[in-house]
Structure 1
Amino acid sequence: MLKLKYLFNNEELAEMVLRNWAYDRESLHLFQYYRISSNAIYPFENGGNNLLLRFAPQTEKLRSNLLAELEFISYLRERGYGVLETVPSREGSELVEAQTPWGSYYASVFKRVAGVSMDTTSLDDQTVFRYGQALGELHRLSSEYSPVQGKRWTHNEVLEWIRRVLEPFPEQTAARAETELLADYFGTIPVTLANYGLIHYDFELDNVFYDQTQDTINVIDFDDSMYHWYAVDIEQALDSLLEAVATEEQGPRKERFLEGYTSRYDLPEEGPSQEACRRFADLYRYARILRSTAEQWEHEPEWLTGLRSRLQLKMKAAASRFGLDISV
């Protein structure tokens, strides 16, 4: 997520960035439905089409990662995969580097995808099958993918980023130990073309949209994509799915998800354990929250103090297994 100082609503900034694209000025009232987390997202319209402006400070993102994300999205669309579509700027760019009074920003615009997010569906057998099928197809296409431009970062580069985040915090001994424990563990896991590639990383229910009328899936938010074992995507998706269904339904829904997945791609072999996948996600979340919340100010608004409290609870939960042996 972004540093907390970037979470404040700033419609003047949003409009200034948006002027790089064509838009219906009368649609700017839609800015009230903004959301900010890993990016600022502001909805608007152009010619009656629903669009989303996404932007973030350049200090918060790697340009190479953003370009690689956009290239991967384009690759998926060319192969008929249901994925969000970019809208070029007035100058024909998918990625705009905007200079503003509030600093330098990276920005892109996307069309809204069809359907509703999976977390608002009934999660019946057919829907869950399609959910697993969409992830299997994504991994199949990823296994055949060779980027033309730069690559997204790898799990090792993420671990190195975590080390840098932890440097200013000498008290974070447990997090540092967990980083080295995971680095050593992943160093023992075979990397093959079949089990390792560019993953979505956040293939959770709210990022996957189901269009019931067409029985199709559309996937959004590749902002966290990285090179990792496909098992990480599977674990995160199943975790999201099983959390959303009743206990007695978890077994059948997991089986149905995996049936969908294997209808498109074989389950990867010789990958990391489910626990290792979860431990990586917990550590990465912990480091991002630590970095985001490091700065604090006097007289913070109530929504910000409440957010800090919720994030502290997430950090505590993420750190609960730091330093423990990783099961195989």
Structure 2
Amino acid sequence: MTQLMYSPDFLARLEAGLRRTLPRWGLPSASVVRLLTISENATFRAIDPESGRDLVLRVHRPGYHTRAEIASELAWLNALNAERVVATLTPVPQLDGNLIADIEDEGTVRHAVAFEHVPGREPAEGQDLPRWFERLGAINARLHAHAKAWRRPEGFVRKRWDYDAMLGSVLLWGDWRAGLGLNAEGRAVLEEVAALLKRKVEAYGTAPDRFGLVHADMRVANLLVEGDTLSVIDFDDCGFSWYLYDFAAAISFTEQEPYIPQLQQAWVAGYRTVAPLPDEDCAILPTFIMLRRMLLTAWVASHAETPTAQAMGTAYTQGTVALGQAFLASAGDAA
């Protein structure tokens, strides 16, 4: 399905449909349009050379988020902006006031949304990354506090990122057993890991102080640094999960790097400048890191055409098995 959606022909059709839609946001169809990223969705940037207006437009892939789910994401973004909780994207309504546009594509309706462009660059690996992760920890604490206190509007609905959604019976991003290059020996390891993860998250539980509305994809690719400002973008996967899962998502695709413990220490320190974070809760972080890694192994397999998945390939699955072996050994040592 991914290959059909993101073939060159499809992307050309999508851009043409998007151009026809631009006047709804007050941009001419002749605006400069370029593709930014392909992941779950296709994201474009459109600039009007005359006015200088600069928008980022996300075209959602069909069959993932409903219109109500997209509207709920935008509602949270608007609330976060209104209360200045975090520097993030500002949703842009169409001229008629609607936030979600429909694009016809050969009989399929695709939803599109627009945001004001946010300047900045991804935080780079190196000495500054722990500093930004300390800032990110504080941002996460503020987001979580807001999520706990915010009175969600009627009809608010987002996906639930629990064990069933990731590794169990729902499988929102596919089955980890389809991991690229996964052999029988690796599968046996990961079956044991999956069973241990299930026991651990069930023991941790989903009490309101541990489980709620989170960003769920705050990886480096979704952070922008501009001067001293750290912005968080792409709330497309926001949903209900464990609050500390946000750290596991923040280190997506880099879980094996030797600097991860330093980033974790910085993130926890930043979080604690805003809200308490007991050691008991910090102890669950390795579990969420492994859970996220298993989920991403499934994502790489089910989104094999995307640039991110192509960069990971079979090596990512092999790394997951190695991390799984270390996770099991660590659990055995603790026992």
TM-score (norm 1): 0.77
Distance 1:40 1:79 in 2: 29
Q: 1:226: which partner in 2? A: 239
Matches within 5 A, 1:68-87: 68-81=72-85, 82-87=87-92
1:158 paired residue among 137, 141, 165: 165
Q: 1:147: which partner in 2? A: 152
Q: Partner of 1:117: helix, strand, or coil?
A: coil
Q: CA offsets, 1:61-104, max 9 Å, x none?
A: 34443232222111211111211011112432222232211732
Q: 2:40: which partner in 1? A: 38
2:273 pairs with 1:267 = no
Asked if structure 2 preserves the Cα contact closer than 8 Å seen for 1:133 and 1:261, the reply is yes
Q: CA offsets, 1:113-146, max 9 Å, x none?
A: 2433223786177644433322222222122233
Distance 2:212 2:101 in 1: 27
Q: 1:116: which partner in 2? A: 121
Asked if structure 1 preserves the Cα contact closer than 8 Å seen for 2:19 and 2:29, the reply is no
Distance 1:177 1:221 in 2: 33
Q: 1:182: which partner in 2? A: 197
Q: Partner of 2:204: helix, strand, or coil?
A: coil
Q: Partner of 1:53: helix, strand, or coil?
A: strand
Q: Partner of 1:276: helix, strand, or coil?
A: helix
Unaligned runs of 5+ in 2: none
Asked if structure 1 preserves the Cα contact closer than 8 Å seen for 2:252 and 2:292, the reply is no
Inter-CA distance 165–34: structure 2 relative to 1 (3 Å threshold) = closer
Distance 1:23 1:3 in 2: 29
Inter-CA distance 24–48: structure 2 relative to 1 (3 Å threshold) = farther
Asked if structure 2 preserves the Cα contact closer than 8 Å seen for 1:44 and 1:52, the reply is yes
Which has the higher mean CA deviation after the structures are superposed, 121-130 or 107-116?
Answer: 121-130
Q: CA offsets, 1:34-69, max 9 Å, x none?
A: 321221111112431221111133124344432322
Q: 2:299: which partner in 1? A: 288
Distance 1:50 1:120 in 2: 28
Q: Which amino acid aligns with 1:143?
A: K
Query: % of aligned pairs identical?
Result: 17
Unaligned runs of 5+ in 1: 294-302
**Considering only aligned residues, what root-mean-square deviation do their CA atoms show, in Å?**
3.8
Distance 2:211 2:307 in 1: 40
Matches within 5 A, 1:1-328: 3-9=2-8, 10-20=11-21, 21=24, 22-28=26-32, 30-31=33-34, 33-46=35-48, 47-81=51-85, 82-101=87-106, 103-119=108-124, 123=128, 127-148=132-153, 149-156=155-162, 158-159=165-166, 160-162=169-171, 165-166=174-175, 174=188, 179-212=194-227, 215-237=228-250, 251=262, 254-267=264-277, 270-271=280-281, 273-293=284-304, 308=310, 310-320=312-322, 325=328, 327=331
State the number of aligned residues: 310
Q: Partner of 1:155: helix, strand, or coil?
A: coil
Q: Partner of 1:267: helix, strand, or coil?
A: coil
Inter-CA distance 50–204: structure 2 relative to 1 (3 Å threshold) = same
Q: Deviation of residue 108 (structure 1)?
A: 0.8
Asked if structure 2 preserves the Cα contact closer than 8 Å seen for 1:119 and 1:206, the reply is no
Inter-CA distance 240–132: structure 2 relative to 1 (3 Å threshold) = farther
Which has the higher mean CA deviation after the structures are superposed, 118-127 or 222-231?
Answer: 118-127
Asked if structure 1 preserves the Cα contact closer than 8 Å seen for 2:252 and 2:293, the reply is no
Q: Partner of 2:45: helix, strand, or coil?
A: strand
Inter-CA distance 313–78: structure 2 relative to 1 (3 Å threshold) = same
Distance 1:306 1:231 in 2: 24
Distance 1:59 1:255 in 2: 38
Q: Deviation of residue 219 (structure 1)?
A: 0.9
Which has the higher mean CA deviation after the structures are superposed, 314-323 or 189-198?
Answer: 314-323
Q: CA offsets, 1:230-284, max 9 Å, x none?
A: 211123436789988x85x964x65444332212222256547222101211221
